[in-house]
Structure formats: C-alpha cells, structure tokens
Structure 1
Amino acid sequence: MKSFSILGATLLGLLTPVAIAAAIPAEVAELAPFTPKRGGLEERQSPATCINVGHTATTRHCWAPGFTSSTDMYTSWPNTGVIRSYNLRIENTTCNPDGAGSRVCMLINGRYPGPTIVADWGDTIRVTVRNLLQSNGTSIHWHGFRMLNKNIQDGVNGITECALAPGDFKTYEFQATEYGTTWYHSHFSHQYGDGVVGTVIVNGPATANYDVDLGVMPITDWYYKTAYQAASIAFQNGQAGLGPPVGDNILINGTAKNAAGGGAWNNVAIQAGKRYRLRLVNTAVDTNMVVNLDGHPFQVIATDFVPINPYNTTHLQIGIGQRYDVIITANQTAGNYWFRAVADGLCQSRNAREGRAIFTYQGQTVADPTSTAPAIPFTACVDPVTSPKIAKNVPSTTFAAQAKNLPIAFGPVAANGNTVLWTINGTSMIIDPGKPTIKYVADGNNNFPQSYNVVEVPSTSSSTWTYWVVQQAVGAPPIAHPIHLHGHDSYILGAGDGQFNVATHLSQLRFTNPPRRDVTQLKGNGWLVLAYPTDNPGAWLMHCHIAFHVGMGLSVQFLERKQSINLPAAGSEWYNNCNNWAAYKAGTTDVWPQDDSGLKKRWPPLIEGGSKFKLD
C-alpha cells in the first residue's frame, strides 16, 4: 500500500513572490510547505508606483510597476520571465481521508488533495504529468485559466487533446495571465472524485487589505464507494427516474471526522487582531455547498478569477468548481470556532454529514468548538450579484437578434438507444478520447460527429460578442446546474425562473458591468443568460460541473474562430500522445469509461461493477 498524506493540520500560507524583474526560471519539482510571511506583498510594492490609492489600498492594491488591482488582466499582465515547473505523478493507491476505512484512490504524488501549484501573476506554469495508472487514460484540466491562444493546453481529452495513455507523459505550459485562486483536476472519467485533483494559487494584487494568506481550503464531498461505482449507481438510478447516491461525508482540506468519531478535523491557527485571506474552492462531484465561519463574517474580494469590489456576508453558497477569496478578521473571544460546509438543499444537494474544520486562536488548546452557526440565509441557489473591480460592459443592441437558446433536458435519447441521459441543445455529448475536436480542425475536416455537440460560434473578429440563453426545458427535473465555461469568463447578464422571453426579460438584463466568472449557477426550472467576446480561438467546452450530469451528456463545445486556432505542430508531443493512445487502445479489449467531468466515450457502460465497457 502506498503511503497516504494529508496536506497537513494547518493550511498552507502565502508563498513570498519572486521579484518581477527576475529573468532566470525558478524550477521546482513540487511544492514544499511554506511559512506565511507578513509583509510579503508590501515588500515588493513601491509607493512611487501606487500614488493616491488610499491608506487601505497602498499595500494589497499594488503589485508591480504598472500593475495593480485596477489593471485590466484581459489585456495586460506582467511578463516575469519566471517559469514555475512541477512534476505530477498519477498513481493507483488507497486512501482513508476520514478514518472510515481505506478504499481505492487515484492520487497525485501520493497526496490528497494533490500538490498546490503556486505562481505569481505573469509567470509561466510548466507541469509535466505522468500517467502511472495501469488501466486508465487521463488528462489534466486547468480550471478557469483562460489559455489565451493556447487552446491545446486546456487539458480536455476528446476536445483539445488525446487522452494520456498509461505510462505516457505530457507537459502543459501556459502563462498565468490572471491571478487568484483555482484548481486543477482530471478531465477523464470520474477520476477527480477518486483523488486526481489539486489547487492553484496565482499571487497578485487584491481589492482589500489583509495581513496573512492562509492559502487554499478545498471542500469536497466524499463517497465510500469509488467515484466510478457512484457514477454507475447514478446512471442506473437515472434510468428509473431516481436521484444519484448521497455522499458519505464532506472533506475540508482533504480530511474530516466520520460518523463514528474517527478521522480528524482540519485545524487552522489564527492570531487575534490579524486579518486573514482564505481561498475557498468547491471541488465536489455532486454537492453545492453553503459555508460559514462561526462568529467571523466574510469580506469577499474575488469570485473565481475575477477581483470584485468587496462585500460582506455571513455565508457563501459555493457551486461546484466555484472559488471565493475572502478575508476574515480574528476579532472574537480567543477560543475555537467551527468552519462549516453543508450541502445546499436549495440546489438539490444532499450529503450524510456536515463538513467541519476548526479555527483556533493562538494560545488556545485545540478542541471541538462550542460556537453556534448563524441561521443559513435563503440562497435560492443563485450566485450573488457582484461588482467586478474592472468594469466591463456588454453591447446590448444586438442581443435580441443574436442570442441563441441552449435548452437542457433529461430523458430517453433516441440516438443513444433511448437511454435516459442529459442533453443540451438536443444532444447528449459523447466524444472519443483518441479523436479530439482539434484533430478534426487540424485535418480540415468539418464533419464533426453529431455526438460531439459542436456549435460553431458566429464571429467576424475578436470584438464580436456571442450571447447564450441556457434554459431548463419544460419538464426537465428541477435541478440546479453549475455551468462551467472553458476559455472565457462568462458575463452573467441575468438569471430567473421559468422560461426566458426576450420581450419580458430583456429589460431585466444587466449589460453594464455585469458579474463575471467561469462557473455560474443555473436555477432548477430556470434560465441563465451568458455572453462573452470571441477573443480566444479554440474548441471550448461548456458543461455542468456536477460530474454525474456531465457524465450523462450535459455538455456542449463552442468552436470559436477555428481558422485562427493555434494548432499543434506536426511531430510534436501532442501528436505523440495521440499515437500512444491509439497504440494502447489497439492493444487492449477494455478501457475505463470516460464519463464524468470529462465526458464519456459512449453509453451505456457495463453496469456490473460500474467500471468498464467493451470497445468495438
């Protein structure tokens, strides 16, 4: 059995940034624990470059000469010349994160969650992924990164690359043109639910001041079955009109106590009077969360990769894939306080347990808190209407003529043998991990299989906008969907109940500095209106981030300005990976199905064992 390690009893602190002028690559094998250092950002800020920004902004607002939280990072970013290099090994092993018993897992570098990747705004991130799984392909998606003009680095097998065969390796390389908090995860089958997941910090300016960065706090549901087994049950239940299996626990930073009292709560040490930045990420398979820290309100400074004008709240509703950067002030009576994460029933999420962690004031003995939680507000499973720090407006005059509908439905699909599946735009997505969309584009082949659910986005230039009405079809189950768009931030023009009608709802839409983020909640029995500029050529996936839903087809891909996509070079690693996948596929009669957050190869899977299906 391989050893299993949690990231530690306390969260990781802020990595002291490298000076912007550094030109020598900073090579690291993988992240080592680091110690929070007060003043890390202040030391790199020059008052001469941050004039008249006000007292509370003179520390965190500034970053480097010419770059502050007021810089439009869609168009400008530092070019540091620094390369942050990591090596990730994906292996079969076992793990026991809440003490309830070991089960089969797939871990990165023997850890759960995997290593936190840390870079500064403008650095280049270089990650070599080695697939040491014996019976699974894989790919790693860099969630939320724009990948400007680097579509083939997005990490979605079957769309932007071929799956990585057992024994093969791939190096992803891209510039961190945005800053904030995010995560990376497998985009092959349900692997991220079995442990192929980690977090990312891109250091940069902030829209409010704080003293210490506590690092990332990933929150996830946990199943005592494997994610593959849970997905198989979800599929079978779906055929009978039933819901998916309920998660057995909620882990915070990779750990929790189980119902029998075993395991351990994650513990975070804080000091009275200090202000702390905490980076929250929902990395769950099937659970939207509501989180709070007893007695300590959140000052919210970023949603996904978008800096916002700060606001205060006692609770946050966090959809799967979403991130919130918050500041907490340690101003309560010294002691222990519960951090809580509960499944949001208003999003139709369920879990057998409440996730918890303990925040302990310096000088106090760690113990189960006696703190009480304030009443959970009515979230209605909708995202807060935030105000992005960098104001961006959306053209409104062409909306009525250009907006396209994307209906979401659930039921028997004739093209799939009347199997009950999710569909979007009338199709349940099924791709081939060995024949990605980008290969079709590179070959000049426009005959995309219908099951690839390719929508070519009309565009004449990078300034062309596209508008999409994501609509729950009449009769679809009233289930909320966290909708994730690759390659762009969605400009959220509006959301509501029932059926969208331009004549009725156009006046309710927000075209002046609407909220932006890359995961947006679609209400059950509701509609969601999104827009984005077509300034990033590529094949970009949009999907529900509930793994059981996307595994049953709830995905569409936007083919954007295909004539301008930067395609892989002949003989490159990209083609070598495709050749290696083809050789692997030819040499085996069984492969593990790709049916998650990644997409699937085909349905139905072999139900017995919920693990494999036979290739033709």
Structure 2
Amino acid sequence: MAAAGVPTGEDSAAEARASEEKAARLQDVPYTRLCSSKSILTVNGKFPGPTLYGRVGDTLIVDVINRASENVTIHWHGVKQPRNPWTDGPVYITQCPIRPGTNFSQRIILSDEIGTLWWHAHIEWSRATVYGALIVLPKEGDAFPFPKPSAEIPIILGEWWKSDIRQVLSEALQTGSDPNASDAFLINGQPGDQYVPHQNMAKHTNNVMNNIMFFKIANHNLTVVGSDAAYTKPFTTDYVAISPGQTIDILLEANQQPSQYYMASRPHNIAGNFANTTTTAILVYIGNYTAPSSPPLPTLPNIDDASSANNFTASLRSLATTDHPIDVPQKADTELLFTLSVNIFECGLNESCNGALQGRFRASINNVTFVQPKIDILEAYYKRVTGVYEEDFPGNPPFQFNYTMEFVPRLLWVPQNGTRVRVVEYNSSVELVFQGTNILGGTYHPMHLHGYSFYVVGRGNGNFDRATNPSGYNLVDPPLQNTIAIPRNGWTAIRFKANNPGVWLLHCHLERHVSWGMEMAFIVKEGTSRDAKMLPRPADMPKC
C-alpha cells in the first residue's frame, strides 16, 4: 500500500529530494543477489528487499543471482507480463527453480499497471523474507488523478517466525497439521515497540502469509485512491482491510497537531493458527514540539470483525473516467464456478497426523487438490511433453450440494489429487465465480490470478445462484484487481478477457492453503496474429 502525503507547498524541493531518492533506488534494479544465513533468506542483504521503480509501459531487466544454499524463484505480483509467462516466477508452473550457484535474467514487462505492486519469492514459504515493493509511476508528463503527493512511503506488512521458516513448513506437512503461528507481525521489517522495547521506526503491500490485516493510523483519516495498480474512485476511511497479496494506494493528509502518532496493524482471522498480536510504527511530524511519552494508539476493528473487512473490500470501485476508462466484459463466453474448500484426508497407516479429527489437512478448488509436477507446466506445454498435466480441470463442481450448509457431510470432505489445468480460448471473455464452502467451518480465501487483472463484478453471502445473482452485477465501475478476498461462506464473481497467452497460476494467497493444494492453472491458447503469441523462450531458463 502506498501512503502518500498531500502537497505542502514545497513541491520543488520535494521533487528534488524525490529525484535523488529515486536515482538511489534505481541502483537496486539491475540485479538481485540472494543470500542466506542460519536464520533468513534475503535479497541484496536487505529485509524487506529493495523497492523497484518503473513507469507505465517500461520493461525492467532483473538478474536473479542465487548465492544462497536453497532453490528460489521470484514472482512479480500483479504484473501482467503480456505474452511473457516465462519470467512470471511460480515454481513448477512457469519455471523450474533457480538452483544455488545459478542465475536467471527476468524480463518484467509493464503494460497498463499504475501504482503499487510488489515482488516476492514463489517457492514453498520463502516469501516470508524474500519480498519488496514495485512502484509503477505514470508516464512522463502524465498527472495523477488526485492531488500530487509531496512524499511517497512504501509500507509493507509482513510476518515473522523465530523458527526457521523451512522447518515450520516441513513439520506441518509431515504431521498434516496447521502450521505453527508466527511470533510477530511486521511493518517494513520491524515488529514495533508493542512487542519489546525497540528504537527503530519503521504505498501499502500485504506480505503477511496467512491473514487479512487491519491497518490504521491514530487520529488520521485515509483516502483510498488505488488498489492492485489500478486507480479507484477516492473514498475516505479511518482503517484499511488488506488481503495477503493485495496492494492499496492511500493519501494521508498530515493535518493533525504536530506530534507523534502510532500506525498499527493486526490480523482479521476466523480460522487456523494465528498470532493475535499488533505491530506498530510511529508517524512523526517534523517541527518543534514536545514529543509525547506515549503516542496515541489507533483503535483497530476486532480480530473477528468480518463486516469491517467485507465492507472495506466492497467499497472499492474503478475510477472509470474518460481519461481512465475501463473495459469490463458485458457478457461471458465461458462461465466457470470454482468451489474453495479446506479438506481432510484420513491419516495413513503407521502415520501420526495432527490435523482436524486426527486427519491430514488438504485444500482444493472444485474438489481437486493440486499436485505439483516435477517439470514446469509451461515447459511441458511449450515442448508438448505428455504426462505432466491433464487438461480436464472441471469448470463446475464435480457434484453439487448446499455449499454453505451448517454441517457438511463427511463424505464431501475428501478431495481428489491431480495436476489438472483448464484450457481457455484466446480472446474469450471469462466469468469465474468463486464459491466458499463450509467444510470444516469455512474461512475466507484471497484468490490471486497470475497474468491478468480482473473486474470484480459481484459478491454476496451464501450460495451463488446463476439464475438470479448476475442481475445485481456491477458492470459500470467494478474494481480492477489481481487479488480478491472471497468472504467466508460467500461468493465473488470476476470477469476478464483471456488475451494473454500462456500458462497462468490461480491460487489462494494464504500460504498454508497453497501448501495444502488450493491452486490450479489456466492455459490460455495463442491467437493467430503475431502479437497474440507467446514471446520466445529465454535461453537461460532454469533447468529442473
């Protein structure tokens, strides 16, 4: 989330400072070195990693040099990468991992994205420490559709385990249990002084692994002007609810009595292991005043306040002006319904499982738990290698039931394993409805689609009804997003034009759900014209 101040009248000086800062930041762009110690994996020795800057339509070249002792990949979250799935980053979907001692030069092709995005590791749970912001500025000479900010401050929400993150994941997968809760949440890599005495103080990005987060600044209102690198109709709020993977652009007007004020963030959670803790940083006014011994803390929504989380998400609307038009499909050529479930497998013989009912946690889309292949799907598709995946991912649930009934029968809890993809015709208009289920009590799911932004045209509680719900769709100014939180025991409908050929991952951005198999992939066919085909395969693609 990018938090920016309203102009103070010192624009020329601020622009000079911003120019100097940008020049310094750009020194981080050409390469990325990955280093590891006994504790964490970092990028260029920084945690969080470097902030990258570009402009609308730019292409960035990032050389990823793996000097660590473990495999890694980097995903450019929210970048559509037109015709270029090769450097999208998800392991065994579009590439094999970058092995220790090897390099991969990644081409980051920006198109119409504008505002805040981010990048992160996309292999196992490495994104716990490997992440950073990606700021896409307007083209030279283009103005913001809001007052020009006098400063730009990336704020990244993160999560921290005292334990080795690889061990946390390994233990959970071995026992089939919910992973251990983190020890702290972070703002720009720091937990804040509400955990322990701490002297460090710390555009808004949520890298938290398993929770929607509430965020607030004491005594200040926030004006939301963008989400997921697309402008929104401005609206004023005193809090933000942000899903893992989502980005929010906000304007902060420093209009309070000069002093110090806490910003704070804590989770919204209704299921699973989580840390019921609050991370803080301090907003400091410049000037002569006596700093308070204890700055005011904001009052955040309750941890189980689903209404506040849902209401914030429902407030997002596309700007949809003449200068910033939208192109939402008015009808769909392909209609899909995907159920999202956390499931249970029975524990095998001679196994000891610690999941619900002494079983092993799994997760599924349309009752399919994704099995990661050993050759990436894009390579198999490009080279026509058989036996890596099946093209039969169901477009609708394999069997229908009351998805949000109070007690879902046990016979509906068990999914099927498979490496299955859904093939989509080039340039077709796709409507995808996500339906949460109440298996094991249900929870929310922040769903992220690679290679595309999509219009969120509808949402509601309970079961989606194809006969009645579409009449209430917003086809005028729906928000354009790449990550959307599906409400607990509810549904959300999205639409997009399948005009980006390649292999593109769809997954829940709660890491524990991904580890349990809540993902699938789309293959979007190529068109007939030259600009409707994938770009050539890079020569230095990592090898399996």
For this structure pair, what is the TM-score category when the shorter chain's length is used for normalisation? 0.7 to 0.9
Say if 2:281 is the partner of 1:357.
Answer: yes
Question: What is aligned with 1:385?
Answer: 315
Cα distance between partner residues in 2 of 1:368 and 1:356: 16
Distance across 2 between alignment mates of 1:37 and 1:86: 28
SS in structure 1 of the partner of residue 168 of structure 2: helix
Asked if residue 87 in structure 1 is aligned to residue 31 in structure 2, the reply is yes
In structure 2, what is the equivalent of residue 313 of structure 1?
A: 237
Cα distance between partner residues in 1 of 2:78 and 2:232: 16
Corresponding residue of 1:585:
none
SS in structure 1 at match of 2:469: helix
The answer as to whether partners of 1:89 and 1:108 remain within 8 angstroms in 2 is yes
- 1:265-284 equivalences under 5 Å are 265-267=200-202, 279-284=203-208
Question: d(CA) in 1 for partners of 2:480 and 2:464?
Answer: 20
2:472 to 491, 501, 508: 508
> Match for 1:406 among 335, 338, 358?
338
The worse-fitting range, judged by mean Cα deviation, of 339-348 and 498-507 is 339-348
Task: Kindly report which structure 2 residues correspond to 1:18-417, keeping only aligned pairs within 5 A, or say none.
Answer: 37-39=13-15, 85-93=29-37, 104-134=39-69, 136-177=70-111, 178-193=113-128, 195-204=129-138, 205-235=143-173, 239=177, 243-257=178-192, 261-267=196-202, 279-345=203-269, 350-363=274-287, 364=289, 369-374=294-299, 376=301, 379-380=306-307, 381-382=309-310, 383-389=313-319, 390-398=324-332, 402-412=334-344
CA distance in 2, matches of 1:348, 1:367: 38
Flag the 1:420–1:379 CA change in 2: closer, same or farther, 3 A: closer
* TM superposition shift of 1:373: 2.2
- The question of whether the paired residues in 1 share the 8 Å contact of 2:215 and 2:300 is answered with no
Shift of 1:471: 1.2
Cross-structure match for 1:566? 534
Question: 1:526 deviation in Å?
Answer: 1.5
Are the structure 2 counterparts of residues 554 and 39 from structure 1 closer, same or farther at C-alpha, using a change threshold of 3 Å? same
TM-superposed deviation, 1:280: 0.6
Q: Is the alpha carbon distance of 1:200 and 1:41 closer, same or farther for their aligned partners in structure 2, counting shifts above 3 Å?
A: same
Displacement after TM superposition at 1:494 (Å): 1.3
Distance 1:346 1:210 in 2: 39
Report if aligned partners of 1:220, 1:287 keep a CA contact under 8 Å in 2: no
**Which of 442, 448, 451 is the aligned partner of 1:487?**
451
Give the TM-score normalised by structure 1: 0.71
Distance in structure 1 (CA, Å) of the matches to 2:438 and 2:306? 23
Structure 1 pair 322–379 and aligned structure 2 pair: CA distance change class (3 A): same
Q: How much has 1:425 moved relative to structure 2? A: 2.2
The residue aligned with 1:526 is 490
Q: Which runs of 5+ in 1 are unaligned?
A: 1-10, 15-34, 44-81, 95-103, 268-278, 582-616
- More moved, 474-483 vs 415-424: 415-424
Larger displacement relative to structure 2 (150-159 or 442-451): 442-451
Distance 2:470 2:537 in 1: 45
Q: How far does residue 490 in structure 1 lie from its aligned partner after superposition?
A: 1.8
Contact 1:429 1:452 in 2 (8 A): yes
Q: Which residue of 1 aligns with 2:381?
A: 441
Are 1:431 and 2:372 an aligned pair? Answer: yes
CA RMSD, aligned part only? 3.1
In structure 1, the residue matched to 2:420 is: 453
User: Which residues of structure 2 form unaligned runs of 5+?
Assistant: 20-25, 350-358, 391-417
Following superposition, the deviation at residue 250 of structure 1 comes to 1.4
The letter of the residue matching 1:404 is: L
The one-letter code sitting in structure 1 at the alignment partner of 2:318 is P
- Say which SS state the counterpart of residue 81 (structure 2) adopts: coil
CA–CA distance in structure 2, aligned partners of residues 448 and 565 of structure 1: 22
Could you give the per-residue CA deviations for residues 89-113 of structure 1, whole angstroms, max 9, x where no partner exists? 111125xxxxxxxxx1001111100
**1:409, CA displacement in angstroms?**
2.1
Q: 1:569 to 1:410 in 2, by over 3 A?
A: closer
With the length of structure 2 as denominator, give the TM-score of the two structures. Answer: 0.80
Which amino acid in structure 1 is aligned with residue 51 of structure 2?
A: T
- Contact 2:206-2:247 within 8 A present in 1 as well: yes
Q: Deviations over 1:567-599 (max 9, x none)?
A: 5448x112xx21xx4xxxxxxxxxxxxxxxxxx
Give, in whole Å, the separation in 1 of the partners of 2:27 and 2:40: 31
Alpha-carbon distance in 2 for matches of 1:473, 1:534 = 27
Report the alpha carbon displacement of residue 345 of structure 1 after superposing the two structures with TM: 3.3
- Tell me, in whole angstroms, the C-alpha distance in 1 between the residues paired with 2:277 and 2:28: 38
CA distance in 2, matches of 1:435, 1:369: 55
8 Å contact 2:433–2:492 — kept in the other structure? yes
Q: What's the offset of the Cα at 1:220?
A: 1.0
**Preserved contact between residue 281 and residue 322 of structure 1 (Cα < 8 Å):** yes
Instruction: Quote how far apart the aligned CAs of 1:375 are.
Output: 5.7
TM superposition shift of 1:320:
0.4
Kindly state the Cα deviation for residue 148 of structure 1 after the two structures are TM-superposed. Answer: 0.7
State the Cα distance separating 1:208 from its structure 2 match. Answer: 0.9
Q: Is the 8 A contact 1:298 1:327 kept in 2?
A: yes
Partner of 1:334: helix, strand, or coil? coil
Check whether the contact 2:222–2:251 (CA below 8 A) recurs between aligned residues.
yes
Instruction: Report the CA distance between 1:366 and its aligned residue.
Output: 5.8
Q: Taking structure 1 as reference, are residues 259 and 266 closer, same or farther at Cα in structure 2, changes over 3 Å only?
A: closer
Does the CA-based 8 Å contact 1:83-1:126 persist in structure 2? no
- The CA distance in 1 between the partners of 2:184 and 2:300, in whole Å, is 22
How far residue 467 of structure 1 moved from its aligned partner, in angstroms, is 1.0
**Percentage of identical aligned residues:** 23
Any conservation in 1 of the 2:506–2:519 contact (CA below 8 Å)? Answer: yes
Q: Which residue of 1 aligns with 2:23?
A: none
Aligned AA (1:386)? L
Aligned with 1:541 (options 497, 505, 527)? 505
SS in 1 for 2:534: coil
